[in-house]
Amino acid sequence: MKKLCLAVMAMVVLLSCSEKKEEATLSGLKKTDFISEVEGKPTALYVLKNKNGVEACITNYGGRLVSLMVPDRDGKLTDVVLGYDNIAQYVNTDGNYGALIGRYGNRIAQGKFTLNGTEYTLPQNNNGHCLHGGPKGYHTLVWNAKQLNDQALELTYLSPDGEAGFPGNVNIKVVYTLTDDNAVDIAYEATTDKPTVINLTNHSYFNLSGTTASIVDHVISINADTYTPVDSLLIPTGELPSVEGTPMDLRAPIVIGDHINDDFDQLVKGKGYDHNWVLNTKGNISGIAAKVISPKTGISLEVYTNEPGLQFYSGNFMTEDKGKLGAIYNHRGALCLETQHYPDSPNHPDFPTTTVNPGETYKSHCIYKLTVEK
């Protein structure tokens, strides 16, 4: 009997050790560090893997892409997105690493807009404006999660009427899929019971050289002839000038650091690149919207979307943030490529509309495809 008990205990220990080994992801994350509760709702870490051994880790807290391990030119797996390695740090740190953004991504001037004759007031959390849905936007909420298979995760959320001042009960579904051509495919859908405005996006911070380097040596191109210039508080002026002859011309590949500190009005206002480009793809998701390459690793990121705009942010406000596995994220330590409608569209009738009515289905699609340049 004693031998049987010892055998059972030994098996329990072995199973426990086996489970602990399985908790570590390729990026060094542990699932147990993401098992928690936020405002009474359970959080977890979900792991997606494709046939090539590429791995994406996502938490349902904020719907965040936490890590993305892809091969470099030598076949070495490299984590190309910034983030934290536990739920507590995500909750206690004000930031958008990897998050789903809503109800309205980017800025709405003075936190106000008028829809069908009714003025709505939103939280002012950025120089008197509403940024990314306010301080309690979707990046701070726990989404309902369902892992569909080894390569897909479905996240859903009911955003109630009046949440952060926005009208309408909005049912949202977002599906992350890690495809076999090494792309993170993000498909958004939403419906509403009242006229409202919706502009969803993903706020992943990419560094294709690994998560501790600078991105000023990255080479970028954006398929856009025009952009939306901003005022001193980064609100669009309503103009759509040509990029021709300016540092905003990214139609041909350039090194990010070549012009980022130029004495050009828009770069001075944004402290670097932090602008929306008007994409030439015009909703055609098969056309490339943007491309970034790291000369160090050879890793290339291609962006595809059905959205009319793309926000390129060059990490201008990053300051020595302590990230995953003790990494320090410094100034311009990452870049964001947020597929979207234009900032402050509800206050600019000439911009593509972000209004969604009952009976309509909002659909947005973004693909981040990772390849290697030899």
| Residue 338: active-site member | yes
At 236, the amino acid letter reads P
- 73-84 in b/e form (b: 16+ CB < 10 A) is eeeeebbbbbbb
Q: HSE of 62 in the Cβ direction (CA atoms, 13 Å)?
A: 32
How distant, in Å, are the alpha carbons of 1, 20, 55, 207, 304 from that of 330? 60, 32, 25, 12, 28
The catalytic position among 139, 203, 218, 348 is 203
Assess contact for 102 and 138: CB atoms under 8 A.
Answer: yes
DSSP state letters, 262-306 = -S-HHHHHHTS-EEEEEETTTT-TTS--EEEE-TTT-EEEEEEES
| Residue 341: active-site member | no
At 221, the amino acid letter reads S
Assess contact for 159 and 166: CB atoms under 8 A.
Answer: yes
Fill in the DSSP letter of residue 199. Answer: B
Alpha helices, H only, the chain: 2-23, 87-92, 265-270
- Does 103 sit behind a cis peptide bond, omega within 30 degrees of 0 on the bond before it? yes
- 337-372 in b/e form (b: 16+ CB < 10 A) is bbbbbbbbbbbbeebeebbbeeeeebebbbbbbbbb
Cα gap 84→104, rounded to integer Å: 24
The catalytic position among 55, 163, 307, 338 is 338
Active site residues: 203, 338
